[in-house]
Structure 1
Amino acid sequence: MVTKQLKKIIKEPRSIKHHELTNDQEDLIQTIRSTTRKHNRNNVTRTQAYFDFYQKHPEIHWALLAHLVSRNAGWNMTDLKGEYLPFLLSRKEQDDFFAFLERGNWLIFQDAYPQLLLYEESKKRGTPLFHLLSFLEISKFMEPFWSQFWEKSTKEALTIALIINEQQYIEERVVQHKHYKDTVLDTILFKLQDIFEFNHILLPYMTPFQKKTKLVGGAVHHFSSVNERINLGKGLYDLLFSVQSRLKHTVDWAKDYPHTGSRHDFWPHLFNHIKETAPDEKHELTSNPCSLHPISPKIYSPQLTRVWKDFDHEKAVPDDWFKNKKMLHFVKKPVKMLKGDIQGTYCKAIEELESAASTKAFFHKRN
């Protein structure tokens, strides 16, 4: 039983002695670190890496969920340089918010992707290598779940464990970090999510009979709450994998529309990665975004690599978050199912952003 193992290993001191590794194991760890760094350049590269991995190993459900959530992080990053938010946020606020989003996205990848690569290597060799997780500075929380998955193919348990682990991993390093609390969470993000319900996670899909992409998903209303983020992650996982036909359409959509960071990827009728309005003019909506009718001019939503340079990250401080039993209830806690009907809420948020940007632009011109 995994929970019994977890209760036992909490009390065990963790000793990592690299001299205990064979030359082959050392080489493997260095290869995994190097491959992770290569794909962790920016949101676009890491988002694609998740999807490429899922296509090779579809039994790892978390990789698809991570791909789609990472797409949303990229859309939030480019919104900061898009049609509306530059009217509402100063240049410094844009930079601070990007640094916050990028840091979380980077940290999760550099912790999770080595786990995926170690699993891939285990498959190649036909033997589990999860005892090497500690040498990759992965929380001891994860080893029992990977071992159980190897033996029993417990897909849901592994996915939930990865959701818990990654949200805990960024908790102290980003969410509760004083710098990000002061510059983003207690100021910018609070303002945006309070007024515009900013934290939407969209899962796009398109059926063969439709020409427009539909959206399902969920929202977190208190991003600073690790409990809420974990519950949302579990709900999104259930939403994504509970309807097999929609899952297939979601995967097909992801294949057909590689991630660029622009919202043009999912709604080209509404967004364009080329700015169609004059530099100092603010776009005005001519119809309800949810009508799915083409509008002109379109809302500017740039491609990520055109508006944000690759970010130079400080190395993550090695520290295992798993020090007490506090999070164990999430392993067994039932999933709170999401309704999934996010499309109307998201369209309302677009309209509210447009209205707020119009007001700000009007007063700016008067002054």
Structure 2
Amino acid sequence: MRVAIAGGITGGHLFPALAVAQALQARGHAVLYLGARHGIEGRVALPVPYALLEMSGLRSTRRTPWSVALTLWRARREARQQLQAFGAEVMFTTGGYASVPIAMGFLRLSQRLVLLEPDALPGKANRWLARRAMRICVNFEEAAQAFGGTQTVRTGLPVRPEVYLPEVAPADARDHFGLKRDKFCVLVVGGSQGAQALNEAVLNTVQYLPSGDLQWLHLTGEAHYQLVRSTADRLGLNGNYHPRAFLAGREMGLAYRAADVVIGRGGAGSLTEFALNGLPMILIPYPHAAGGHQRYNCTALARRGAAEVIEQAALSPQRLAEMLLALRDCPQRRAQMRAAGQAWAIPNAAERIAQLLEEVGQCIHPQASV
């Protein structure tokens, strides 16, 4: 079977696409990933065959409708040419605006389109493409309800295999980062959006708390690292405070193993990684995320008992410190949150989707379910 895969611009769309691509390759299928030249896929080494299309400016508010339409038409035409040359039989997309012209190009050739919706609230691209899809894979049950339940299958969201390392002892993971083995560890993951506000809140909380109460592994984002580092040095936040710009691959998995609790935003990919690793979550949804989807994601996990949520407008050092110390002092609550997150996460999501794509490719219609 020959499967074309689309979805990129951000890691939240790219990494699930690559995980499914590699699962398909392991089953002996040919894959072709299609993305955008200006997305993250244009800046990282891709482990599968790929073609990158010109799509810059598709979401720009500074361009005229005619110029946006021309870019869309060109991207769709180029996608169709790539898909024809590859001989694509099935198309799988992970959402985002970059998937639209590629899916449109494919639908001129075949109707075997399968979507993946990572978020609790479906995005515009997937809502538009849903009427043409044979199946819609969802991460949150709430998304299935938004699609009306038809053609939906709850597969979960594929994550990078290197970020799930249950075989690594937490003590060994802490040694890797120079953390104390016996001190409660807070991991902070700012994400690519709104990291500055989260960084400031964390620095204020570290300063507010007595220095020996907690230890911190703080992923600041590359753009903010120097400012955070210099601020921490100026405030004398050393010993129990460990800022890092970012972590890649296996190091991210080690960070999850080292942590007792995680503070993060509400992107679907990060939340799925947190839950899979059994981390109790304190979530601060990015208030300017498209359609408010991060708030929906965070609320969905809070309803399941896996997370506590603070709106950014209500965030203060006192509030964050109180929540952290309460979790530190209540192992039973942490265990409940850990179990709730792991009960929701699906570890073999990539394999589930690969099997679904095989069934679609063989014209075997799997039963829709959530």
TM-score range, shorter chain: under 0.3
* TM-score with structure 1 setting the length: 0.26
* TM-score with structure 2 setting the length: 0.26
